[in-house]
Chains A and B, each alone.
Chain A
Amino acid sequence: MTSALNWVLAVNPVPWARSQMALTLAFHIVLVPLGVAWGFITLIANWRAIKKDDADALLLAQRWSKYMAVTFAVGAVTGTVLSFEFGLLWPRFMGRFGDAFGIPFAIEGLFFFLEAIFLAVYIYGWKRLKPWPHFWTGVPIVVAGIGGTVSVVAANAWMNEPAGFTVNSAGKVVDVDPWGVIFNKAMPLQSLHMLVAAYLVGGFLVASVYAWGMVRGRRDRYHRIGFLIPFTLAAIAMPFQMLVGDEMARWVYNNEPVKFAAIEMVPKTSTDVPETLFGHLNAAGTKVEGGIPIPGLASILSDPATGTSTQIQGLDSFPKNARPTNAEVDVVHLAWDVMVGLGTFLFLLSLWFFASWVFKRRMPRSKLFLWIAAAAGVLSVVTLEAGWVVTEVGRQPWIVRNYMKVEQAATANTGVWITFIVALLVYVGLAVTVILVLRQMSRRWREGDAEAEVDEGGPYGPRLTPAPETPKELVP
């Protein structure tokens, strides 16, 4: 008993705390795009339903709002877990910097409140509210989603670019400038990057469900609209994200050279740096092994004005205890490759979509396109997760860059490995359950459509006709 207890007490909480934070954040970040973008997507369908008396669009909007009720509930509670974890896992970080770091969260709290209130009104208001007032109760959801994203990312950006406070000799925060905290240097681009990402992922994710339906032969008008609204939104956001991402990378090059060295996997300061696809650092961290180098490209992209003669600071120009470990560099670089690679792939998919509209005046009909579009949902989530890994692992070993290291921030509670295992089991169960419940809802509705028995109609709009049994042509 005593030895078992000693063993429990001897476990270092830091790696477990990191794992638990990573797990719960990785889960929550998938729900974020749905919370932020799905409301907007639903409102487009809702608007079309009222304006054009479109029964399919109305049905989509109603069903989307029902799905959203589920994903929002799960997002709300997993978000709450994160609030607890700030304190449970990183009490020394919160104790020291809560008075600066907390400010953007106070603002986020406002937006979260608004979102929860109006989402409830919108979801439950279909039957008894008049069409236009009901539509307008959905608008605060969109505004709150945008405001909430910007506020939370402002807090994360602050960890990358801490500003707006002064510390005394004991390291205690003695003076805070709230504007400086919120509008830290990393905030504008990082918030924009995440906001566009939320719309991208939300769009691709919702569209992928209907693309899959079309792959399976359900090529009716209902599926086409269900695909076109979210996919068009994502496809519009995609080129914009390429520009924002490019700008962001150059910003990191200029402002966070350590992270940039990890991203590009540059062991030694040099010019004419190749862009290496994949690969890893050797054991000593002095050389890149494996991978496919594209000569000079990293230098050219970092500053096109100076081209291959652009110098990139290498990892060796920073002290070992103030930069990511070799293993972390490998992770950051791989995540970077995945993000940029998949991002480019989704960008090309968007081009395909637009090209079809320009040249053929309709969306691409080929099975290949639909297959890829069906995969785009999951791929965009992977892209999002990879981007988040880049910014978080790339900041290591710091939790507040140049002020506090992760290990200084962690809790002293040695039982974190237990809560990690419990959280892992609960979250895996939760993920499976969410997917099963959403699938079951969709199946039930489809069967209801087939039997044409269920009146899915709201109080307004045309009485809804069931989906046609014979597939219509894919013409707009």
Chain B
Amino acid sequence: MSDVVALILMVGITAYALFGGADFGAGFWDLTAGGTARGRTPRSVITHSIGPVWEANHVWLIFCLVVLWTAFSEAFASIMLTLFVPLSIAALGIVFRGSSFAFRKEVTRTSSQRNFGAAFATSSVIVPFCMGAVAGAIASGRVPAGGKAGDPWSSWINPTSILGGVLAVTVCAYLAAVYMVWDSKRLGDPDMVEYFRRRAVVSAVVTGVIAVAGIFVLHDDAIYVFHGLTSRALPLVILSALCGIGSMVLLLRSSQTGARLLAMGAVATVVLGWGVAQYPYILPTSMKLSAAAAPDATLWSVVIVFVIAAFVILPSLGLLYYLDQRDLLAAPAVEPGIDDHT
């Protein structure tokens, strides 16, 4: 039973990485878009691209937290005790990111837009780094079981955490760039298609290099997960590499739809691979999923809620993405009307 709920948790983390991650990545490209004049067009694509969807995508994080604290409460307590610092930074970063993004859309003065934009973009890089560092801390066995605090600093400032943090930032940037190639095409802006296509290819290469280097880091620093990734999770790792290479080929050939799906595949398989590599531990190697699991009735509640979500939330999300992709939500930025104040 605890395995089923662990799978649900992995689904949540994967969804958050694929959708929420891309929204953070959009912030990365916002940060690197250059000065006010030069960055105007890419920033408007970014605002247009994540505007309607980021809040819904953000809920996956809440979903993951709730599943974790309800189904595996002792592991949740251990993680929160040990990783107090990066998680506090992440929480504040989330406040900065969400609120300043909402503010930037509504203010008209360039200087205010720039300040809110800077807060939005900077926190969009800090938050995924912290999340990745947290994942690295867990994967490398630095979070002790039993609601005890591990080291408040070295638990997340260590090779695996830094790998996790940097990888999270680059993966988010990569996904965002690939999605925004598509969005630019939708908006009918060939310059922006090219702009984000170049960035997608570069970030794909960078992500790939870091991932390969990461194998050596894990070998030295997170041996349990390393063994998992090179044995039972190996098919997922290979699949991820193939998806990544495939998406790059398609990007170079300007086939956006396929590139987007393969990019999602590449990221999803990495996240799932991490989960499989850690199995059966929730905190390698001090706490197994079964040991951390809540009583059966609670696990059943989580499963039932998830099934309801599958029937109610997934179609609703589908509707949101469908309307968004068909351009039925929000006007293009150039069109005057209630959606355009800039």
Query: Which residues of A are in contact with B by a Cβ distance under 8 Å?
Result: 62, 66, 69-70, 72-74, 76-81, 83-88, 91-92, 94-100, 102-103, 105-110, 112-114, 116-121, 123-129, 140, 173-178, 411-413, 415, 419, 422-423, 426, 430, 433-434, 437, 440-441, 444, 454-458
Contacts and interface: CB of A to CB of B under 8 A. Distances in A.
Contacts of B301: 103, 106, 178
B337 to A, nearest CB: 6
Contact of A126 (B71, B87, B338): B338
Contacts of B65: 83-84, 87
Q: Is the interface of A mostly helix, strand, loop or mixed?
A: helix
Interface in B79-99: 79-81, 84-85, 87-88, 90-92, 94-99
A399 B52 CA distance: 38
Contacts of B316: 113-114, 117-118, 140
Interface string B214-225: 000000000000
B101 interface: yes
B37 interface: no
B213 interface: no
A368 to B, nearest CB: 34
Contacts of B91: 80-81, 84-85, 88
Nearest to B84: A413
Contact of B298 (A88, A103, A113, A117): A103
Nearest to B75: A95
29 contacts: A66-B106, A66-B338, A69-B106, A73-B101, A74-B99, A74-B102, A76-B58, A80-B91, A85-B91, A88-B80, A88-B84, A91-B147, A97-B73, A98-B76, A102-B298, A103-B70, A109-B59, A109-B62, A109-B66, A109-B305, A114-B316, A117-B316, A120-B55, A125-B329, A175-B295, A176-B295, A411-B81, A411-B84, A455-B337
Nearest to A129: B328
Interface string B186-203: 000000000000000000
Interface string B299-342: 01110010011001100110110011001111100001111010
B83 to A, nearest CB: 9
A81 B97 CA distance: 12
A51 to B, nearest CB: 21
B297 A176 contact: yes
Contact of A127 (B51, B300, B338): B338
B92 A120 contact: no
Contact of B73 (A80, A102, A426): A102
A413 B56 CA distance: 32
B297 A77 contact: no
A128 B73 contact: no
Given A83-B62, A106-B67, A120-B55, A88 B94 contact: no
Given A128-B331, A129-B323, 5 more contacts: A72-B55, A80-B91, A91-B147, A121-B329, A176-B294
A110 B312 contact: yes
Given A124-B339, A125-B323, A96 B95 contact: no
B81 A116 contact: no
B52 A437 contact: no
Contact of A413 (B58, B92, B149, B337): B149
B1 interface: no
Interface residues of B, number: 75
A437 B339 contact: no
A276 B271 CA distance: 61
Given A74-B98, A95-B147, A120-B320, A437 B330 contact: no
B321 to A, nearest CB: 10
Interface of B: 51-53, 55-56, 58-59, 61-63, 65-67, 69-71, 73-74, 76-81, 84-85, 87-88, 90-92, 94-99, 101-103, 105-108, 147, 149, 152, 294-295, 297-298, 300-302, 305, 308-309, 312-313, 316-317, 319-320, 323-324, 327-331, 336-339, 341
A91 B77 contact: yes
Among B61, B95, B105, find the residue whose CB has the most chain A CB atoms closer than 10 A.
B95
Contacts of B51: 124
A111 to B, nearest CB: 10
A108 B65 CA distance: 12
Contact of B305 (A74, A110, A176, A458): A110
Contacts of A112: 59, 62
A407 to B, nearest CB: 16
B212 to A, nearest CB: 33
A178 B303 CA distance: 12
Nearest to A412: B149
Given A77-B95, A116-B59, A419-B88, A92 B77 contact: yes
B329 A95 contact: no
A132 B339 CA distance: 20
Contacts of A86: 69
Contacts of B297: 175-178
A110 to B, nearest CB: 6
Contacts of B152: 413, 415
Nearest to B55: A116
B101 to A, nearest CB: 7
A92 B295 contact: no
Contacts of B149: 412-413
Contacts of B66: 83, 102, 105-106, 108-109
A83 B62 CA distance: 7
B73 A95 contact: yes
A457 B335 CA distance: 13
Among B62, B90, B149, find the residue whose CB has the most chain A CB atoms closer than 10 A.
B62
Nearest to B316: A117
Contact of A84 (B90, B298, B328, B337): B90
A433 B312 contact: no
A105 B70 contact: yes
B85 to A, nearest CB: 8
